[in-house]
Structure 1
Amino acid sequence: MYSGNELRDMFLKYFEAKGHTILPSASLIPKDDPTLLLTVAGMVPFKPYFQRQVEPPIPRATTAQKCVRTPDLEEVGKTARHHTYFEMLGNFSFGDYFKKEAIPWAWEYITTVLKLPVEKLWITIYPEDIEAREIWEKAGVKSDRIVGDPENFWAAGPTGPCGPCSEIYVDLGVARGCGKPGCAIGCDCDRFLEIWNLVFMQYNRDEAGVLTPLPKQNIDTGMGLERIASVMQGVETNFDTDLFRPIIDHVAALAGVKYKENAKNDLALKVVSDHVRAVSFMLSDGIRPNNEGRGYVLRRILRRAVRFAKLLGIDKPFLESAFRIIQRDYAHAYPELKENENFILSHLNLEEKNFQATLEQGTQLLQEKVRGLVEKGENVLSGTDAFYLYETYGFPVELTEEMLVEQGLSVDMVTFETAAEEHRLRAKEQSQQMRAVVESTEVVEKAKSLGATPFVGYDKVALSTRIEGLFVSGKEVQDAGEGEEVLVFLTETPFYAESGGQVSDVGLIRTPRAEARVLDVKKGVTGTLYHRVEVKTGVFHVGEPVEVEIDNTDRLATTRHHSATHLLQSALRSVLGEHVQQAGSLVSPERLRFDFTHFSPLTPDSLRAVEGLINEAVLKNMPVKATEMSLKEAKESGATALFGEKYGESVRVVGMGSFSKELCGGTHVSNTGEIGLVKILSEGGIGAGLRRIEAVAGLEALAYLRSLDEQVSEVSQSLKAQPLEIGKRVNTLMTQMKELEREISQLQAKLAKNEVDGLLNKATEIDGITVIAAQVHAPDMEGLRQMADLLRDKMKSGVIVLGAASEGKVNFVTTVSPTGLSGLHAGQIIKEVAKITGGGGGGKPDMAQAGGKDPSKLGEAIDKVPSLLRGFLNK
């Protein structure tokens, strides 16, 4: 049986032997592709090559690509194959080879390398693709095993590259089927599993739908690693493979449940394992949780993981420990899981902590709703209230149902679904309205009529110009007054529009009677500059002359950072090698961020060397000159261009002495000396083969160093040590702390043993059953479980109920030994005990754990144990 890791490596090595270059997985953040939030397929990184927007640097490649898809988020865990994060194995040809090579290689790999039985394999083709049928048959596939499917035609969109495809299916056997007489390829049941899709890009489709053969045909294939692993490992679902089971087993252990014993728990375990994988990989590529775009997708997946963990009874932070399992099993293939560990863990822990607090608020609100129902003598929570909890506090309706069932209540699911659908429709309508403003026909037509806006900001920071157009909410207006947010078109402008990583200028637009603040500036496809402004006072009119002025303090800070970015790239190429390529940047008044290609973290010595070269270039006070020339001349001059960037025939080349020469349209200093000091703040990985450096320059660097100096002074005073002796003093304190921790651990073990001995002496009997019910000292649930285990080992037979208060909460553990003693069930016992302290929980017949919210009721709960046990025994 092959492991998932072995299957990944086997695939890549097979195609490497066929002349393919093994490329690392691209980031989950699509590069220069505004049509996608996330990388959703193995071919996404190669779209520019397939569409010939960029000439491919290699003729053929093979990858294991990280992918995230979320349209079917609610289906995860309910089916055998749905995932958010998955890996797509693929081999690609960029106009090099085609069907007669791709098909035999696929068949050879499936039947010879993986040794899947031929009699279990099926092939689907596009019915009109006779060529593919003939090649499959020649490769060794029997004609009756090839099925035509009119859906087997792939297209990049309404227009563009397209072509037929072939799919490889595995027959998993009658036992996995639906039992219907007509069960065959295409049936909705789980019997026939698609494992590989081979796309033959051989046409270009124009707007009229006419197909024209491509001058260079391409191959794009995709085989899901999780799917082929389930086949090779002989398991029913992807979740039963070694790609998921370690995560599932870890989470199950934390929850005190077992996988495949309870359908509801299994669903939650699958969702959590899937979502933690997705979150870990998204964070490893530098995606940050927030409320928009891919950051929102990440936050939503992370919160779903926490919510479903809560359904399993996991109330404490668990994401870090689950991430460790993923890091252990995947980091050899995806080193960014180790390289970006601090980034990943900091966001995991912060998001989990914040969401736990949100869940607490939601729980309190739910209890208020429950009290209202009880007072009215009702037992059904309205769907509207349930949806409010979901939308506002992130409560899944399943969690609400779980909490209500414990109290003999339920949710009106019909009105819940109605509320959810109404919300979805409203959100869709609002989204369409927002797009309508940005893509307003009136705005587009005005931009077309005006053409490119002359930009004079390289030489001027202020000038007199004229208003050519005003738009409010996508509609053209003649006047705009105080408090309105407006799109403004000017005759010419000094405002730099956001481009090439440099943020736009901000500033003011004035007349003698009105003033507006320019918030940002963007460039449309026509070259027209859109000034988004907020009118502060007065009224602006179309056609009137205005005075415009950029915020020069911000502009100067931005230009320092932009010029420093050019020096940084040259220094990196000098220290690390010519393979370094820019992969993205951000230049703002506050800082610079530079992403680049490199295969490993920079050593401290390398970072110091890079920083040193930059500041040496600054001290040389080299002139910074911008020159317009043809693209061909720029390339011949050795100017560095951004890989994959589209350039026109005429380009702007920015040179800094003999140190740097780049194609760039941004604003820069006149001499490198104006940059001042440059200080690198951080360096880390953001994906396979991608690194990121953040730095500050000029006054921002000075502010950073002053802040650092203040912190050093504060620490040195606290430690009563000179600044240069801080490191030695901290090392001494760390050694002392570790020794103290060891002593504390030893003392806690002794205390626990002494407490256990004391509890054994206080054991009582109820109807012939030995019972220990006590309030004890334990720092957390783990310590409480250990104490219960010690007692059970010594007591042999009986019931144990232990409770401990810690950090304003209550923990309970109950054991019944042997299992089924006098019909007692640990989960039922603990549920009643915890209820007294405002909590709940459950577990197996022999061991259960629970939490409570009111430590003041702990003593009362323990005192009630004997009467509760008698009640259970008398049933």
Structure 2
Amino acid sequence: MMTSRERTLSVQVKQKFSDFFQERGYKNWPAGSLIPDESDPSVLFTTAGMQQFKGWYTTSQPSTINCQRTTTCQPCLRTSDIDEVGDENHLTFFEMLGNFSFGEKDSYKMKKRAIEETWEFVTKELNIEPKRITVSVFSGDEKIEEDKESLAIWQEVAPGVEIKKQGREDNFWGLGPPAQAGRPSTPCGRTTEIYVDGIEIWNLVFNEFVDNGDGSFRPMESFGLDTGMGLERLMMALEDTDDIFATDIYRLWRDKLAKISRFKYQERPRDWRIIIDHLRAATALAEAGIIPGNKDRGYILRRLIRRALVYGQNLGIENIGQAFSDLPATIKEEEEKFGLAIKKGKKELEEILGRGQKEIPGQLAFDLFQTYGLPLEIIKELAGEQNIKIDEDGFFAAAESHRQTSRQGMEQKFAGGLADDSNETIKYHTACHLLLAALRKVLGGHVVQKGSNITNQRLRFDFSHPEKMTPEQVKAIEDWVNDKIKRDLPVATEEMTVAEAKESGAMGVFDERYGERVKVYTIADPSPSSGAEVNPTTGEIISKEICGGPHVKRTEELGDFKITKEESSSAGVRRVKAVLTKK
């Protein structure tokens, strides 16, 4: 066990992890965006290191994968346990160290290599004593048999170490919900977990199956390794503490909060932990370009900021921005808005309390929270001063109803990628068709759309491409799109069967997501260039795709097209952001 003098700082641990696996043939891969590829609507945020590689596990052609083994340090955000944050080990935002492999043909060799590497890193590189370690393997059930291979390997690699057999809830894992129409297949598999002093630090997932979505599983054509080790929990083991917020990762956060809190960490640890975790998560989201709002990711960001501010009040903090001067401007602006909203909410609540009611209905209390951000704790406190009760069951029922409605709306939004159907959003939607055509023209026919997000102010477009675009390529794409806009080309639509659409050459994903009949949108140039694909009726085909619409009638309506940013979205996927300006 490391002494206090030998404690490894988190940045050094990350480097040690990367170096260890690079020496063993893994390629150090850049972290994916905290905002995942929107062709996968199963999650709002990146929740695991393997998320950017998800398609690599299910490909039927492993030889097309850019790299067979990778290692990353991936920022992740999970809000499923947000109400648990405040204890010694729950977080919303964390970093996950991981090593991955794809296209494996021998599952036993894959498992043996992974377990041997894991044991060597933990006991030799990190110097964690074997007596502190326990491991677990999948015990088997009626659908998937026991993982006898992993059990035997552990017995060979780490004789004497306690091995626990656990069920599906603990030792079987997949990324996202099961496959269904419009949603990618989910790689999944049995896992083996490593615990130090009873705390899970590392999870090894052996992706051997695909979830069919009907309760059954099918073997994958090739296997894959997906491991994840939470950096923050690992630091607990290395620094010999049972409090994750006592590790070096949070030291600067604690020091800054101590300057403005009226209470010490030991006096109000839950409030301190919530504030630190939520501000760290909010900072990551703000830096990823998310703006506080009332829907989807914006709602999550707003909730994180406002929860941090509410618990700051418990510590007597009037202005968190004073201590954390380097917080993104987005968070500081939201703090100002929240202060004004709280004042309005309290005034509204005072009027409600003055009506002489003995109990405030749960829906009304939730409306105060939803409209003004007035927390239930504050509502209860002010109402209690007048001996008025709150229907808390009704409050939580209204909150759950809101969550369900939001979730359904999110799924509908991601299905088409459109935030609304305003005129500006429709223009951006049409521009996406020209952008895809331009990308294929400039970069090559390997480019396919991987996701999009369209608002009335900008478009974001994800596409398959293995490397960063050069400035010359970006300019060539802009020029190509603007040329087609300037030519004022017609945008035509016709309805046909899926078979007819496929026969016509329309681009699309030909699977169960479509109904019997589809709409095909075509942008064509009546004056074709030499050697172009020409339709006798419409002229040169510029773009032809299956799409639910809506679109503009002619391209000149779009204005000028400008790419504002080009970046990595995930492994093998690039992302561009673009705007349209009036001429």
Q: 1:48 is aligned with what amino acid?
A: G
- Residue of structure 2 equivalent to 1:803: none
Deviation at 1:557, TM superposition (A): 4.9
Q: 1:146 is aligned with what amino acid?
A: I
| Alpha-carbon separation, structure 2, partners of 1:438 and 1:67 | 20
Change in Cα spacing, 1:421 to 1:7, as seen in structure 2 (3 Å) is farther
Residue 37 of structure 1, aligned match among 44, 50, 56: 44
Does the CA contact (< 8 Å) of 1:197 and 1:222 recur in 2? yes
Does the CA contact (< 8 Å) of 2:306 and 2:373 recur in 1? yes
Correspondence 1:279 to 2:258: no
Secondary structure in structure 2 of the residue aligned to 1:324: coil
- Residue of structure 2 equivalent to 1:135: 153
Residue by residue over 1:238-273, the C-alpha shift from the partner in whole angstroms, topping out at 9 and shown as x without a partner, is 11122222122212213355433x1x2x32221111
Deviation at 1:122, TM superposition (A): 1.2
| Alpha-carbon separation, structure 2, partners of 1:621 and 1:387 | 50
Does the CA contact (< 8 Å) of 1:2 and 1:232 recur in 2? yes
Correspondence 1:72 to 2:81: yes
- Residue of structure 1 equivalent to 2:258: 252
Q: 1:104 is aligned with what amino acid?
A: E
Residue 560 of structure 2, aligned match among 675, 678, 691: 678
Correspondence 1:356 to 2:339: yes
Q: 1:357 is aligned with what amino acid?
A: L
Residue 314 of structure 2, aligned match among 311, 314, 317: 311
Change in Cα spacing, 1:106 to 1:630, as seen in structure 2 (3 Å) is farther
Deviation at 1:63, TM superposition (A): 2.2
Change in Cα spacing, 1:198 to 1:421, as seen in structure 2 (3 Å) is same
- Residue of structure 2 equivalent to 1:851: none
Aligned pairs for 1:534-573 (under 5 A) are: 557=427, 561-562=431-432, 564-566=434-436, 569=439, 573=443
Deviation at 1:382, TM superposition (A): 8.0
Q: 1:355 is aligned with what amino acid?
A: F
Deviation at 1:83, TM superposition (A): 0.7
Correspondence 1:293 to 2:305: no
- Residue of structure 1 equivalent to 2:515: none
Residue 148 of structure 1, aligned match among 154, 158, 165: 165
| Alpha-carbon separation, structure 2, partners of 1:138 and 1:46 | 31
Larger deviation, residues 607-616 vs 33-42: 607-616
Residue 396 of structure 2, aligned match among 424, 449, 454: 424
Deviation at 1:193, TM superposition (A): 0.8
Deviation at 1:85, TM superposition (A): 1.0
| Alpha-carbon separation, structure 2, partners of 1:237 and 1:308 | 19
| Alpha-carbon separation, structure 1, partners of 2:321 and 2:403 | 35
Secondary structure in structure 1 of the residue aligned to 2:326: helix
Does the CA contact (< 8 Å) of 1:3 and 1:242 recur in 2? yes
Residue by residue over 1:471-515, the C-alpha shift from the partner in whole angstroms, topping out at 9 and shown as x without a partner, is xxxxxxxxxxxxxxxxxxxxxxxxxx99875789xxxxxxxxxxx
Q: 1:120 is aligned with what amino acid?
A: R
| Alpha-carbon separation, structure 1, partners of 2:502 and 2:36 | 26
Deviation at 1:169, TM superposition (A): 0.8
Deviation at 1:685, TM superposition (A): 5.9
| Higher RCO structure (Cα 8 Å, ≥6 apart) | 2
Change in Cα spacing, 1:81 to 1:410, as seen in structure 2 (3 Å) is farther
Does the CA contact (< 8 Å) of 2:189 and 2:208 recur in 1? yes
**Root-mean-square deviation (CA), in Å?**
5.1
Correspondence 1:222 to 2:205: no
Residue by residue over 1:211-254, the C-alpha shift from the partner in whole angstroms, topping out at 9 and shown as x without a partner, is 65444222221111110122223333111122222122212213
Does the CA contact (< 8 Å) of 2:418 and 2:425 recur in 1? no
| Alpha-carbon separation, structure 1, partners of 2:25 and 2:121 | 15
Residue by residue over 1:584-631, the C-alpha shift from the partner in whole angstroms, topping out at 9 and shown as x without a partner, is 44567876544567988998x997776556546666889999999998
Does the CA contact (< 8 Å) of 1:249 and 1:259 recur in 2? no
Correspondence 1:85 to 2:68: no
Does the CA contact (< 8 Å) of 1:598 and 1:691 recur in 2? no
- Residue of structure 2 equivalent to 1:340: none
Does the CA contact (< 8 Å) of 1:125 and 1:146 recur in 2? yes
| Alpha-carbon separation, structure 2, partners of 1:383 and 1:435 | 24
Q: 1:113 is aligned with what amino acid?
A: E
- Residue of structure 1 equivalent to 2:114: 102
| Alpha-carbon separation, structure 2, partners of 1:624 and 1:276 | 46
Residue by residue over 1:698-717, the C-alpha shift from the partner in whole angstroms, topping out at 9 and shown as x without a partner, is xx522xxxxxxxxxxxxxxx
| Alpha-carbon separation, structure 1, partners of 2:353 and 2:554 | 70
Secondary structure in structure 2 of the residue aligned to 1:561: helix
| Alpha-carbon separation, structure 2, partners of 1:400 and 1:438 | 29
Does the CA contact (< 8 Å) of 2:563 and 2:576 recur in 1? no
| Alpha-carbon separation, structure 1, partners of 2:50 and 2:392 | 35
Residue by residue over 1:336-378, the C-alpha shift from the partner in whole angstroms, topping out at 9 and shown as x without a partner, is xxxxxxxx52x323322211101223444667789999xx9xx
Correspondence 1:124 to 2:136: yes
Aligned pairs for 1:142-221 (under 5 A) are: 142-151=159-168, 152-156=170-174, 161-171=187-197, 192-204=198-210, 213-221=219-227
- Residue of structure 2 equivalent to 1:49: 56
Deviation at 1:198, TM superposition (A): 1.2
Deviation at 1:162, TM superposition (A): 4.2
- Which structure has the larger Rg over C-alpha atoms? 1
Does the CA contact (< 8 Å) of 1:561 and 1:589 recur in 2? no
User: Which ranges of structure 2 fall in alignment gaps of 5 or more residues?
Assistant: 1-6, 140-145, 180-185, 513-517, 533-540
| Alpha-carbon separation, structure 1, partners of 2:259 and 2:132 | 37
| Alpha-carbon separation, structure 1, partners of 2:405 and 2:479 | 51
| Alpha-carbon separation, structure 1, partners of 2:265 and 2:99 | 36
Residue by residue over 1:833-868, the C-alpha shift from the partner in whole angstroms, topping out at 9 and shown as x without a partner, is xxxxxxxxxxxxxxxxxxxxxxxxxxxxxxxxxxxx
TM-score (norm 1): 0.50
Deviation at 1:81, TM superposition (A): 1.0
Does the CA contact (< 8 Å) of 1:123 and 1:167 recur in 2? yes
Secondary structure in structure 1 of the residue aligned to 2:579: strand
TM-score (norm 2): 0.72
- Residue of structure 1 equivalent to 2:143: none
Residue 71 of structure 2, aligned match among 45, 55, 62: 62
Deviation at 1:137, TM superposition (A): 2.3
Correspondence 1:243 to 2:249: yes
Secondary structure in structure 2 of the residue aligned to 1:358: helix
Residue 665 of structure 1, aligned match among 546, 560, 578: 546
- Residue of structure 1 equivalent to 2:324: 322
Deviation at 1:167, TM superposition (A): 1.0
Does the CA contact (< 8 Å) of 2:457 and 2:579 recur in 1? no
Does the CA contact (< 8 Å) of 1:154 and 1:164 recur in 2? yes
Deviation at 1:276, TM superposition (A): 1.0
Identity %: 29
Q: 1:278 is aligned with what amino acid?
A: A
| Alpha-carbon separation, structure 1, partners of 2:468 and 2:99 | 25
Larger deviation, residues 380-389 vs 120-129: 380-389
| Alpha-carbon separation, structure 2, partners of 1:588 and 1:438 | 14
Change in Cα spacing, 1:196 to 1:671, as seen in structure 2 (3 Å) is same
Does the CA contact (< 8 Å) of 2:481 and 2:561 recur in 1? no
Residue by residue over 1:125-168, the C-alpha shift from the partner in whole angstroms, topping out at 9 and shown as x without a partner, is 223322212211222x1245222223543143678654322111
Q: How many residues align?
A: 526
Secondary structure in structure 2 of the residue aligned to 1:35: coil
Change in Cα spacing, 1:113 to 1:410, as seen in structure 2 (3 Å) is farther
Residue by residue over 1:614-650, the C-alpha shift from the partner in whole angstroms, topping out at 9 and shown as x without a partner, is 546666889999999998998xxxx9x8xxx844699
| Alpha-carbon separation, structure 2, partners of 1:352 and 1:647 | 47
